[in-house]
Structure 1
Amino acid sequence: MTATLVKAWKAGRAELEAAGVDQPVIDSRLLLEAAADVSRLDIITDPHREVSETQAATYNEFLARRARREPVSHILGRKGFWKILLRVTPDVLTPRPDTEVIVDEVLKAFPEAMAFNMLDLGVGSGAILLAVLAERPAAKGLGVDVSSEALAVARENAANLDLDGRVALLRGDWTSGLADASFDVVVSNPPYIATEEIETLDPEVRDHEPRLALDGGADGLDAYRTLAPEILRVLKVGGLFAVEIGHTQSKAVEALFRDAGAAQVRTIKDLSDRDRVVVGVRNPLETGV
């Protein structure tokens, strides 16, 4: 029997449903689009278009990998984030919509024509930094990561987006070696999963995401204990910070930043109405800067 787009999609959805995949309809469609070189519109408006044997074989391979709970982003090697498309590999966290809260906060704080200097700690694929710079042509940024493999991905993404002229990427341990009061805005999506909780995560995360980007220590807060005073050190007076958190960590992370001297500390919720990002400023009343 000749395979068509709609038959392939339905069969793929059933296979992923049986495997317990969370979003079988969306995932099977994304994999079909890639395997058959079609768009979502093609599937809707031309559902009886034939799928070649080669395309069907590729699609079946993709489905088998997804059924083993490999993330779609790893199968396709790409992931959309904010308004940009990023290359993604197992060496970096797959960008998630929750993290777009940070991008939104930075863009609201800095008008389009304003020049500013941004730091992204634990830059990974470059998602946050590149999404902001893509919309703020006068801005420049530095991304720091301890993983040379992650930096290679970020470097490729910057080049693909024609942003490499405004981005510097540095292998390092958080803010080590960076000067005081150097940045107008500092962002980070650090590891915040408690060590003992990692084995309870979905297989897509537990088995395929870099452990270095997940493990936040015994209580998930290790990175913030380091970052709170260091972020305030490298921020300019009055500068903005925004860090992603686990949805139960708002009070603890806010307290760490307040204790380090931050002002206007508050938590922003994500689209699921969960606490997601702690923001604040370096106190403009500080002296001795």
Structure 2
Amino acid sequence: MPALNYPSHSPIRTQTISVALAHIRQRIAGLTDSPGLDAQVLLAFVCKKDRTWILAHPEYELNPEEILIMAEALARIYAGVPLPYVIGEWEFYQLLFKVTPSVLIPRPETELLVETAIRWLQENPHCNQVAEVGTGSGCIAISIASHVPHARITAIDISPEAVAVAERNAALHQVCDQIEFRENDLLTNIPGPFHLICANLPYIPSAALRCLPVYLQEPTLALDGGDDGLKVIGRLLEQSAQKLAKGGLALFEIEAGHPQEAKALAAQYFPQANISTKLDLAGRHRLLIIELP
């Protein structure tokens, strides 16, 4: 690991936000696809401000404590800790969520599922019973609840640590009255029916996962989808066939390379449904959509 500019035993040098941003960008350039944005996020964490303030005050001089916090954060990033875990929070759907290594880091591609769910619920105000399976940080359920006041959501995760994080985030965003969190294995013994079932379950094929940088950085339980990436999704599809209400909607985030396999699997359990996929902003098949007549 390259030596940091400001180890704790060295004299602290004066540094402005402008200089610090350039320093951080240079340090993390090979570790992220968005070094400029991540530098702003990290410095906002260091200074306990938002990114807008950081950009508006380039001449602000960091104090010695802030410089040390920055150095320690960069050391953790170099050690392989993802930035969201370093700062303990991450933005998703214009909301800020607490995250720990017990939960998957919210990603922009999952906003497609949230947008689709919110639009459908708003267009169908008589539909309010929602199940969100594999809630993790709670970002999907909480984002839906924040935009759809009539939604009543059962948010489920098999990990008690994840449920604890999700409950904390629900309290922060003041939607606890709309969401019931359950520690459970998918929809097993969860009574239905639900108007909407949505899930971002593990969908990366096991062999492919082991070749990705995210492997061992984030919880494998939330990433490993088995040999074909559809093992856990297949279990939930089978359960959903008995729990999805007539005229209901199911939304599953999927691995972009297997849309036909995902649709074929869904058709086994929903032969009468309209089944399609939706492209994300990168033009990849990201969302499996099941619409019951």
Q: Shorter-chain TM-score: what band?
A: over 0.9
- The 5-angstrom pairing of residues 1-289 of structure 1 reads 1-17=13-29, 19-111=30-122, 114-115=125-126, 116-179=128-191, 181-202=192-213, 205-262=214-271, 263-282=273-292, 284=293
* Greater displacement, 66-75 / 91-100: 66-75
* 4+ runs deviating over 6 angstroms: none
Identity %: 30
SS of alignment partner, residue 240 of structure 1: strand
Q: What is the alpha-carbon distance in structure 2 between the residues aligned to residue 113 and residue 241 of structure 1?
A: 14
- The TM-score, its normalising length taken from structure 2, stands at 0.91
CA contact (8 A) 1:268 1:276 kept: yes
1:182-208 CA-to-partner distances (Å, cap 9, x unmatched) read 110000011111111222111xx2122
2:5 is matched with none
* Bigger proportion of residues as helix: 1
CA contact (8 A) 2:43 2:54 kept: no
The RMSD of aligned alpha carbons is: 1.5
Q: What is the alpha-carbon distance in structure 1 between the residues aligned to residue 260 and residue 285 of structure 2?
A: 10
Letter in 2 for 1:31: L
Structure 2 unmatched runs, 5+: 1-12
Structure 1 unmatched runs, 5+: 285-289
**TM-aligned CA distance change 1:29 to 1:217, over 3 Å:** same
Q: What is the alpha-carbon distance in structure 1 between the residues aligned to residue 56 and residue 172 of structure 2?
A: 31
SS of alignment partner, residue 165 of structure 1: coil
> Offset at 1:125?
0.9
Q: What is the alpha-carbon distance in structure 1 between the residues aligned to residue 168 and residue 22 of structure 2?
A: 35
Q: What is the alpha-carbon distance in structure 2 between the residues aligned to residue 57 and residue 219 of structure 1?
A: 45
Letter in 2 for 1:34: F
> Offset at 1:81?
0.9
1:55-86 CA-to-partner distances (Å, cap 9, x unmatched) read 00001111222223321110111111113211
